[in-house]
Structure 1
């Protein structure tokens, strides 16, 4: 039986990318998605995430919530049109408790972050953290990216603010300074340079019926 890599995914719902990532992660043949935490973790966000997981027959995945400062709606019209109707829902626990439980079960689990780093920082403050972390954020400037691979809007830049890391810069600064075995950043200009064309979509059609997450994506 092929080994599956255990993952925890910390996400938000401001843009479509994290929801799409969740659909792929939850059903990827090489990934065992153990748990999810949501920033900041409003009841509408938890209901939305739960609806995705239920659609994919992954009701076993536990969902943690951060600490929202208000009851403001945080699930966009795009998300509601995409997934259909859903009800607000309570989380299975706090983001910190859910992440800590995952680490107790799977010490080699990987953290993937697609949101501001408030939830992971709260975990760090509890005294534990992941040894392997993939983070969406950061910026690879002209000193790293060859000119032929630069997007025009980023050409000439050595630095550029990114949404996820600036959502909680103090948390980001601290988490980048702690010693862990592996830490990778998927930088802003790499993400923005990704191209998904109609041809790419058509190429995936023969495979989508074999994977519910890919079909939903």
Structure 2
């Protein structure tokens, strides 16, 4: 995860107490002491500091990399260097029964793959559910293409372009059994707006995470009433219940700094082309 905007942190809150999730670890990019402190504060709220490990890619990164929204909404928190090296934490925690959800550039995953191969103990992972990528012409039916993407085959995508070599390594790694990409062609249709906020408000006593998500988005909507694209929570909910999405089996490729997908039956890599909004909200609030 990263902490440049609300998405990743709200996703962490969601995963901390979702009844269908057993959270094992959190890796952070770049992994500054401020980011580690923020993640540890969230884990404290759910009494998970002793059971959920935290990993950082680079504790000595020069900037804080935490948006003002986090402290404005949830208060100040102490910085911390109490984190494992992120790549090693992934090697320690991942296995064929584990799902890794990523909502940031794949620096920790790429380094874990390289480290495992160098040691002769390759990373094993059951599923990688990534927020990122793009599916367009040739994969997404015309009637499902957003107007701004209509006819496009490739498009820039932040998380994959944030560490492109690592993303390509993750795509090629044989130790990952299945890959699901929750890509911008669908994510840009998913907005946390006033209507969804009212539904979260009605359900917020069910779980601590829903109360905290409601609080964060209540502050956000007061400043930006048009709402916010809800990319990473969609990816997390698709990890919990893949039937939220309609998927195409593909291979991802990079061309000139842009990403695309082409049909590839048998690839074990799927990309989202449509989603069921009500099922998504049911899993979010579940």
User: What TM-score do the two structures reach when normalised by structure 2?
Assistant: 0.68
Which structure is higher in strand share? Answer: 2
Offset at residue 175 of structure 1 (A): 1.2
Offset at residue 101 of structure 1 (A): 2.5
User: What is residue 198 of structure 1 aligned with on the other side?
Assistant: 194
Q: Flag the 1:96–1:70 CA change in 2: closer, same or farther, 3 A.
A: closer
Find out whether 1:58 has 2:48 as its counterpart: yes
Offset at residue 125 of structure 1 (A): 1.3
Offset at residue 102 of structure 1 (A): 1.6
User: What is residue 172 of structure 2 aligned with on the other side?
Assistant: 177
User: What is residue 155 of structure 1 aligned with on the other side?
Assistant: 150
Offset at residue 68 of structure 1 (A): 5.1
Q: More deviation in 58-67 or 41-50? A: 58-67
1:109 pairs with one of 93, 98, 117: 98
Q: For the aligned residues, what is the CA RMSD?
A: 1.6
Equivalent residues, number:
205
- The CA distance in 1 between the partners of 2:59 and 2:149, in whole Å, is 33
- The CA distance in 1 between the partners of 2:138 and 2:45, in whole Å, is 44
Offset at residue 81 of structure 1 (A): 1.2
Find out whether 1:164 has 2:159 as its counterpart: yes
Offset at residue 189 of structure 1 (A): 1.9
- The CA distance in 2 between the partners of 1:91 and 1:166, in whole Å, is 28
Offset at residue 107 of structure 1 (A): 4.3
Offset at residue 160 of structure 1 (A): 0.3
Find out whether 1:132 has 2:127 as its counterpart: yes
**What is the SS of the residue equivalent to 2:172?**
coil
**What is the SS of the residue equivalent to 1:90?**
coil
Tell me if the contact between 2:27 and 2:55 (Cα under 8 Å) persists in the aligned partners. Answer: yes
- The CA distance in 2 between the partners of 1:92 and 1:86, in whole Å, is 16
**What is the SS of the residue equivalent to 1:71?**
coil
User: What TM-score do the two structures reach when normalised by structure 1?
Assistant: 0.88
1:1-217 equivalence runs, <5 A: 11-59=1-49, 60-67=51-58, 70-103=61-94, 107-127=96-116, 128-179=123-174, 180-217=176-213
Tell me if the contact between 1:12 and 1:40 (Cα under 8 Å) persists in the aligned partners. Answer: yes
- The CA distance in 2 between the partners of 1:196 and 1:71, in whole Å, is 32
